[in-house]
Structure 1
Amino acid sequence: MGKVWRIYKTDWKSIFSVPTAALLIGALMVLPSAYAWVNIKAMWDPYSNTSGIKVAVANEDDGAEVQGEKINVGNDTVKNLKQNHKLGWVFVNRRKALMGVEKGDYYAYLIIPKDFSKKLTSILELNPEKPKILFGVNEKINAVAPKITSSGASSITAQISQAFVKTVGDAIFSGFYKAGIELEKALPSIHNVEQQIFELEKVLPQIEEMGKKAIELEGKLPEIREKGQKVIELEQRIPELQLAGNSILKVEANLPQIKKAGDRVLALQGKISDLQHVNAIITDVIANMTEIETKIRQGITAAGTAQTTETDTANNQEELARLNEELVAIHIQVNQTRLALQQRVGEGEKIINTAAEFFANDLPVVEQKLKKAAEFVRNDLPLLEEDIRKAATLVQTKLPQLEQAVHKAADLARNDLPGFSAKIRSTADKLRRFESSVNINDLIQLLKHDPQKESSFLSSPVLLETKRIFPIPNYGSAMTPFYTMLALWVGATFLIASLRVDVENPDNVYRGYQLYFGRLLTFLTIGIFQAVIVAIGDLFLIHTYAVDKLWFVLLSIFISMVFVIITFTLCSVFGNIGKGLAILFLVLQISSSGATFPVSTTSAFFQTIYPFMPFTYAVSMLRETVGGMVTEVVIKDVLSLLGFAAASFLLAIFLKKPLSKRIQQTAERAKSTKIIQ
């Protein structure tokens, strides 16, 4: 241990004996701090200085008209942006905006199109359209600026949306409030309509039955039309009815004569026996004529045998013959007359008997009916004729309308009534469900809520209540652990790049581990000063925030010592190759430690090596001192860094001696190039 201490003292005597060397060591102590301070101050609050990021704004909005009131959301947006200094808003036309962003004069542009207000107010129409703000960003100018400008554009659209929702909400909820008042006033009428719907539902079967009858009636319309035509024809025959009526009246007037005729017929019926007696007389006459004819024929015969002259005989026979012929002719005629009379008497008897029976039995009934008919003709027939005329007029003028109405009723019953019935039943069911699930009085009270409060709630329905756990006041303080840790690694890398890690040992006075630890103490001393300067400068020169300031300084010293051990060991064991490895470790750790972006956002490779990088635990430990320490986290990080230091010591113990000759040969060959030290 004494030899290690001797090497350490010798190093510092050599440093202070040469002013240039002392100046170099001083520079190596301060230089990493400057790196940290400049970057921390530059990142102190980057989002408060975004007014220099120029964004072109082109407003082409033509405005719109809503219920007679003109609005222009584009102009309102421009007015708001002129009072917004978060970004450098520049108001130009579309052409300058597009060309300016393309040439890099502006980081981004916002173009409000002509139909912006029109589309925004289309919410009042049947098919609303969402308005668009055209946003373009030149991403090659800067990596962060597009994110800032995008945030600004999103903020603008959010403000427009919030204002629009507030305005629409005021209108909607004011309408709701008025609707609630009107609904409360109309509540009795609503209940009445509701009751009528229920009553209508009850009578739907009767209405549907009437619909069926209307369809049936439509089917009978041809028959009705035919009967109507008969009514018209009957009207045309009214004169005939009048004549018939007059005839009835005449018959009634002649009833006494008819009765007299009837009496005569009855009397004639009593004389039928006399007619039959006449027939018997004629029969007797015919029989006598036959006897006379016989005697005449006998006389003719006797005349032929009598003793008379021929002339007298001939004359007598001729006279008798002529008389016989006349008698025969009379006989025939009388016989024909008897037959005709007998036929006529039979027919007459039959007619007289029929007529007598009519007059005796039917005439009183006919007389009674005739009187009723005559009474009808006198009293009712004129009214009947008037009714027939009215019916005919009705058929001619109203039947077409009736047919049209019946067709409409039938069409309604066929086509509309089923749907109407279904809607009535559905409405009644919905009303019953509505009544069972919703209290309309509660609904009225809901509609009568304060419109201003409701619209304010709608525009910002969710309030974000932020609880800051381990709060850090600014971005620079939050980035202090990263830049401080980075400065300490850079400082350690400067040491191995600027100072020799080997100690001259021409007489082999020192062993390998003594040479290693002796020079390492010198490097550690410089590293401690680097850590003290950077940590105290962070706290008191640029005033970064830290909850545990003392621990911030102490743990910075601890981290610097671990980094010096790692880099010193790499260079001591591997020579110039170790210097390259130290730089390679720096590059890998910046991306894999999660110091700037969460490691979960990096590639799978960096997520894999994340647990094996010293930066991972160093930055975590310093963050604890800045935001507020959690003992378990700090202990875990300290143990992890001690593990890296122990691994470095083991590397030096086991590899430095076996590799020293080969590394020395490699270094000499490199120096022979006269380019590499």
Structure 2
Amino acid sequence: MIGKVWRIYKTDWKNIFRVPTVVLLIGALIVLPSAYAWVNIKSMWDPYSNTSGIRVAVSNEDEGTEIRGKKINVGNDTVKNLKKNHQLGWVFVNRTEAESGVERGLYYAYLIIPKDFSRKLSSILEVNPQKPEIEFTVNEKINAVAPKIVSSGASSVTAQISQAFIKIVSEAIFKGFYRAGIELEQELPSIHNVEKQIFALEKALPEIEKVGKAAIELEKKLPEIQAKGQKVIELEQRIPEIEKAADSILKIEDRLPLIKETGAKVITLQEKISSLQRAKELITDTATNLSEIENMLLQSLEQMKGASVSQTESKGEQEEVNRIYKELVKIHGNIVETQAELLEKVDKLTKATNTAANFFKSDFANSEQKIHRAADFVRTDLPSLENDIRKAADLFRTRFYAFVKYVHKAADLARNDLPGFESSIRNAADKIRSFESSVNMYDLIEFLKHDPQKESNFLSNPILLKTKRLFPIPNYGSAMTPFYTMLALWVGATLLIASLKVDVDNPGPSFKGYQLFLGRLITFLTIGIFQAVIVSLGDLFFIHTYAVDKLWFVVFCMFISMVFVTITYSLCSVFGNIGKGLAIIFLVLQISSSGATFPVSLTSSFFQTINPYMPFTYAVSMLRETVGGMIVEVVIKDLFALVIFIALSLLLALMLKKPLSKQIQKTAEKARTTRIIP
């Protein structure tokens, strides 16, 4: 069996080398796919290195603004930065030229910075900030890729503006933080003092409440205080009387020795009061004796009237006795009158003398000390007391009504405001305690005192992207090499079935159909292997694409070419010209479903569904492993999948070729009658 297959293979190559034009055709079929791959790979080598040729119009209409006396114009700053930016071909024109240029296709897009750009940007410092807008318009009909590039460039411009603005604003903010930190550190003792005072005030709230209640009570006693104030004024008015009394006290003190001497005399008089009692008795005896004398004289008169003497002598004696008697009666009457008054005065004198004597004996010493103290008070304290009385009276006259006003205010405060004040103090104390338990003031100061420049730089670029390139590929062309190489191999396989005859003329009845199929297949596989060798070596050494595993890259290209040739050959061998069309349809489906250009997840659900059933999926994955760095498990999986495609293709051909051959032949003959299809 193998010998017959080998005979067909040798015959094919003998026939090829017998005709030079066929040799040239085979050579062209071997080389043409390589040219296809090399041209596409080289054209895609670094497509983003020439974006400066994409012209974008820029029109700056920004009028600028002023922030705290400092003029800024973000539009001008943006233009300056864009002149240094060569990512795109920035062209600086006015609005009219920008709009007409984009519309006519002279520019791919335009950016227009409006008049109020800086003003709106600076509105962040206002209560209602407004976001500025940059007008961006792109002409999408010029090119499919260019709009994406210019949109990326526009986003980059806005990002640069935002970054610069964030840096400026954050630097100003952190400078304010820094100053606040310095001032906070300087004021920290005062803050702690205020905290202590608030805590002390909180502690003193019960006393304050007492004071408030006292103010209310004092308000109630204001009428009483006013009455006492009036008494102070009255007392002030009586100061002259007080001074007179004081003078009297001083005079009494001066006369104390005399009073003391008088007291001694009074005591002596008390001792002699018994003599007065005897005088009282003598007066009584005298009155009694006078009564007796009166009686005697009266008797004598009566006797004289009855005696017989000369009338002249008798009358004269009688008148004398009568005169004496009358005088004596008069005297006796005076004595009687005087006796009652005298006795009363003696009693009073005795009583007064005893009282005075007792006072001098028992109380005078104490009274003397009191008089000395009173005199000392008059000499030393009374002047200041009088001065205090005058001051108190003057204070009452001038300040009492203001005092009343303040007392009313204090009482009103205690009634109306003190409860809220106490609540505020307690809340403030609680918040201070809560703040101190959750925030370390010294840590806060350290945070505020951070370097404003460093903090601003951090805020404008808060995240550094630390990129670790796994399986790095240096350029886009090398990354696309697996796709274009694989595509070239499929195109080469398609060219083979389109240019060369698939069926073998039967050399004799001894050859089986499968032998004819395998013999011609090996010829096609040989050409496919040469195609793979040329395209892979050219990738590596002619256009110098990057590949980690160069040998395996060449080997896998040869294997993939064999897979593709087997698939296309089997389709054409079984279905004839229809198979050629199927190979082309298969190519179209695989370009989108293999994920070779865009990730398959970005395609429609149809292409995502057929992705696992396409040979391109595994062929491009296998070649990517050799370019970026191989993982054995991935290579084995891809290799196994491609082997399955070979097996399915051979099984399809061997099972269907003979049953369908007659029907396919009739169809081909009918197609040739059109004189269009060969």
TM-score, length-normalised on structure 2? 0.71
Aligned residue runs from structure 1 range 36-185, under 5 A: 36-185=37-186
Aligned to 1:593: 594
The Cα of 1:467 is off from its aligned counterpart by: 1.1
Deviations 1:315-344 (A, max 9, x none): xxxxxxxxxxxxxxxxxxxxxxxxxxxxxx
1:367-418: CA deviation from partner (whole Å, max 9, x where unpaired) = xxxxxxxxxxxxxxxx9999999978879x869x939x9579848964x655
Deviation at 1:577, TM superposition (A): 1.3
Report the 3-state secondary structure (helix = DSSP H, G, I; strand = E; otherwise coil) of the residue aligned with 1:49.
helix
**Residue 546 (structure 1) aligns with:** 547
Residue 142 of structure 1: how far off its partner (Å): 2.2
Q: Which amino acid aligns with 2:4?
A: K
After superposition, the Cα gap between the structure-2 partners of 1:163 and 1:514, relative to the gap in structure 1 and judged at 3 Å, is same
Indicate the residue corresponding to 2:374 in structure 1. none
Show the counterpart of 1:481: 482
CA distance in 1, matches of 2:392, 2:90: 95
Residues 468-495 of structure 1, C-alpha deviations (whole Å, 9 max, x = no match): 1111000110000001001100111111
Equivalence for 2:457 = 456
Distance, in Å, in 2 between the alignment partners of 1:112 and 1:654 is: 71
Do the aligned residues in 1 keep the contact of 2:56 with 2:107 (CA within 8 Å)? yes
> Given that residues 211 and 410 in structure 1 are in contact (C-alpha distance below 8 angstroms), is that contact kept between their aligned partners in structure 2?
no
State the match for 1:435 in structure 2: 436
1:306 corresponds to: none
Residue correspondence of structure 1 range 338-487 to structure 2 within 5 A: 402=405, 406=408, 410=412, 414=416, 419-487=420-488
Task: Give the 3 Å change call, closer, same or farther, for CA 614–175 of structure 1 in structure 2.
Answer: same
* Alpha-carbon distance between aligned partners in 1 of 2:412 and 2:677, rounded to the nearest angstrom: 111
Query: Is the Cα contact below 8 Å between 1:61 and 1:113 reproduced in 2?
Result: yes
Tell me how far apart the structure 2 counterparts of residues 49 and 202 of structure 1 sit (CA, whole Å): 77
- Is the Cα–Cα contact under 8 Å of residues 536 and 553 in structure 2 kept in the other structure? yes
Does 2:579 align with 1:578?
A: yes
1:659 and 1:195 map into 2 onto residues whose CA distance is: 105
Could you list the per-position Cα deviations for residues 286-323 of structure 1 after superposition, in whole angstroms to 9, with x for gaps in the alignment? xxxxxxxxxxxxxxxxxxxxxxxxxxxxxxxxxxxxxx
Any unmatched runs of 5+ in structure 2? 239-387
Q: Name the residue aligned to 2:520.
A: 519
What displacement does 1:75 show? 0.6
Is 1:29 aligned to residue 33 of structure 2?
Answer: no
In 2, Cα distance between the equivalents of 1:88 and 1:422? 68
- The SS at the match of 1:110 is strand
Between the aligned partners of 1:86 and 1:580, the Cα distance in structure 2 is: 44
How does the TM-score come out when normalised to structure 1? 0.71
Matched, 1:195 2:196: yes
Structure 2 CA distance for partners of 1:42 and 1:197, relative to 1, 3 Å: same
- Cα distance change of structure 1 residues 141 and 209 upon mapping to structure 2, 3 Å threshold: farther
* Distance in 1 (alpha carbons) for counterparts of 2:444 and 2:61: 44
1:214–1:413 Cα contact (<8 Å) kept: no
Letter in 2 for 1:676: I
The alignment partner of 2:204 has SS state of helix
Shift of 1:212: 7.4
Q: For the residues of structure 2 that align with 1:418 and 1:149, how far apart are their CA atoms?
A: 68
Q: CA separation of 1:124/1:215 partners in 2, compared to 1, >3 Å: closer, same or farther?
A: farther
Q: Which consecutive aligned stretches of 4+ in structure 1 deviate over 3 angstroms post-superposition?
A: 203-218, 383-395, 405-414, 416-423, 506-509
Question: For residues 493 and 421 of structure 1, what CA distance do their matches in structure 2 show?
Answer: 95
C-alpha displacement of 1:441: 2.2
Matches of 2:37 and 2:408, distance apart in 1:
99
Change over 3 Å in CA distance of 1:88–1:412 after alignment to 2: farther
Contact 1:30–1:533 (Cα < 8 Å) also in 2? yes
Q: Distance in 2 between matches of 1:579 and 1:189?
A: 93
For residues 515-555 of structure 1, the C-alpha deviation after alignment (integer angstroms, 9 at most, x for no partner) is 11111112111111111111111111111001111111111
Distance 2:421 2:147 in 1: 61
Cα deviation digits, residues 82-117 of structure 1 (max 9, x gap): 010001111122333233333332222222222222
2:7 aligned residue: 6
Cα distance in structure 1, aligned partners of 2:213 and 2:471? 82
Q: 2:570 corresponds to which residue?
A: 569
The CA deviation string for residues 192-211 of structure 1, in whole angstroms up to 9 with x for no partner, is 11111212223345556666
Shift, 1:12, TM fit: 2.1
1:130-279 correspondence to structure 2 within 5 Å: 130-205=131-206, 207=208
Q: Which moved more, 1:656-665 or 1:385-394?
A: 385-394
Between the aligned residues of both structures, percent identity stands at 72
Relative to structure 1, the CA distance from residue 114 to residue 421 in structure 2 (aligned partners, 3 Å threshold; closer, same or farther) is: farther
Give CA-to-partner distance per residue, 1:542-593, whole Å, 9 cap, x none. Answer: 1100111111111101100110000000010011111111111111111111
1:603-632 CA-partner distances (Å, limit 9, x unpaired): 222122111110011001100110111112
Shift of 1:214: 7.6
SS in 1 for 2:5: helix
Q: CA deviation at 1:33?
A: 1.0
What does residue range 603-642 of structure 1 map to in structure 2 within 5 Å?
A: 603-642=604-643
Q: Deviations over 1:115-140 (max 9, x none)?
A: 22222222323333333323222333
Q: Whole-Å Cα distance in 2 between the matches of residues 408 and 584 of structure 1? A: 100
The one-letter amino acid paired with 1:588 is: L
Distance (whole Å) between structure 1 residues aligned to residue 420 and residue 211 of structure 2: 16
Contact 2:215 2:410 in 1 (8 A): no
Note closer, same or farther for the CA distance 1:33–1:386 as it changes in structure 2 (3 Å cut): closer
Indicate if the aligned counterparts of 1:208 and 1:413 stay in contact, CA closer than 8 A: no
CA, structure 1 residues 216+34, in 2 after alignment: closer, same or farther (shift >3 Å)?
farther
Shift of 1:420: 4.4
CA distance in 1 between counterparts of 2:444 and 2:674 reads 93
Partner in structure 2 of residue 314 of structure 1: none
AA partner of residue 636 (structure 1): K
Q: 1: CA distance between counterparts of 2:533 and 2:30?
A: 9
SS state at 1:58 partner: strand
RMSD of aligned residue pairs (Cα, Å): 3.4
Query: Which 10-residue stretch deviates more, 472-481 or 461-470?
Result: 461-470
Question: Cα offset for 1:501?
Answer: 0.6
Q: Evaluate the alpha carbon distance shift between residue 439 and residue 22 of structure 1 in structure 2; reply closer, same or farther with a 3 A threshold.
A: same
Inter-partner Cα distance in structure 2 for 1:209 and 1:109: 78
Structure-2 change in CA distance of 1:205 and 1:154 (3 Å):
farther
* Residues 32 and 491 in structure 1, CA contact (< 8 A), matched pair in contact too: yes
Listed as ranges, the matches of 1:504-515 within 5 Å are 504-505=505-506, 507-515=508-516
CA distance, structure 1, for counterparts of residue 624 and residue 558 of structure 2: 15
Aligned length: 530
Distance 1:43 1:209 in 2: 91
**Residue 664 to residue 474, structure 1, CA distance change in 2 (3 Å):** same
- One-letter amino acid of the counterpart of residue 548, structure 2: V
SS of equivalent residue, structure 1 residue 130? coil
Q: Give the equivalent residue in structure 2 for 1:295.
A: none
Give secondary structure in 1 for the equivalent of 2:514: helix
* TM-superposed deviation, 1:180: 2.2
Larger mean CA deviation between 104-113 and 571-580 belongs to: 104-113
Q: Is the 8 A contact 1:571 1:579 kept in 2?
A: yes
Distance in 1 of aligned mates of 2:218 and 2:27 = 119
For the structure 1 residues 384 and 201, does the alpha-carbon distance in structure 2 shift closer, same or farther, using more than 3 Å as the test?
closer
Aligned to 2:242: none
Question: For residue 616 of structure 1, what is the amino acid of its counterpart?
Answer: T
Letter in 2 for 1:6: R
